[in-house]
């Protein structure tokens, strides 16, 4: 595989991530898989977490994914730095308008055996999983950890989750809730949340 100096590439759309032998594997939706000519590469895009600079997440457009692929729920685009130009060129794309930059990538795992899921299916247990566990597999170096609160309530409003206190309100798009909220800490009748956010200069 031809190597050159390290360059930056946008790759995607992708499905995943799946931790595998120290790397992250992302499967290819049918539309991208058809563009990849080399059969060995159709299995998916694999990279070290250390190569990922940014990650973006969006919902698929109606009809964009097959019925089987809809189990993955979302699609991802990555900004990757790599010297493997001949490999990267097969997966190049452009981020979708409206995609959210996310502070971390989470892999879905089986709550019974801990193995990574493929969509909503656990190959180890041989069954579909309704409630998965999330495991952090990459974090954006520009993501800032903050403690917000105290809050009194939280509610789901349209496509957002809203935390409300006496003097502050914090809203998160549902699609990036798990990537943003790390934990909730009760404090009597109130609660605080630990979140990952970006400063304005690093939001795009």
What Rg value do the Cα atoms of the chain yield, rounded? 18
What's 62-107 look like in SS3?
CCCCCCCHHHHCCEEEEEEEECCHHHHCCCECCCCCCCEECCEEEE
Q: State mean pLDDT over 110-137.
A: 96
Q: What pLDDT was estimated at residue 2?
A: 47
pLDDT digits (tens, 9 = 90+) for 131-153: 999 999 999 999 999 999 999 99
For the cut 60, the answer to whether the pLDDT of residue 19 exceeds it is yes
Q: What is the rounded distance in angstroms from the CA atom of residue 165 to the CA atom of residue 148?
A: 10
What's 148-187 look like in SS3?
EEEECEEEEECCEEEEECCCCEEEEEHHHHHHHEEEEEEE
Tokens linked to 36: 């990849």
pTM given for the model: 0.92
């Amino acid at each position: 595989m031809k190597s050159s100096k390290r360059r930056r590439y946008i790759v995607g759309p992708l499905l995943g991530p799946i931790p595998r032998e120290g790397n992250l594997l992302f499967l290819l939706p049918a539309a991208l898989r058809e563009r990849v000519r080399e059969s060995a590469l159709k299995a998916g895009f694999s990279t070290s977490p250390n190569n990922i600079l940014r990650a973006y997440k969006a919902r698929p457009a109606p009809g964009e994914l097959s019925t089987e692929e809809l189990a993955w729920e979302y699609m991802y685009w990555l900004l990757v730095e790599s010297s493997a130009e001949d490999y990267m060129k097969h997966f190049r794309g452009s981020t979708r308008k409206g995609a959210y930059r996310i502070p971390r990538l989470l892999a879905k795992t089986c709550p019974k055996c801990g193995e990574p899921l493929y969509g909503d299916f656990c190959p180890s247990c041989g069954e579909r999983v309704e409630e998965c566990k999330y495991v952090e597999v990459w974090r954006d170096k520009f993501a800032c950890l903050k403690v917000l609160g105290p809050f009194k309530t939280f509610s789901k409003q349209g496509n957002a989750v809203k935390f409300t206190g006496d003097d502050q309100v914090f809203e998160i798009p549902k699609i990036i809730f798990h990537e943003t909220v790390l934990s909730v800490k009760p404090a009597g009748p109130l609660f605080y949340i630990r979140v990952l956010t970006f400063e304005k200069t690093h939001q795009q």
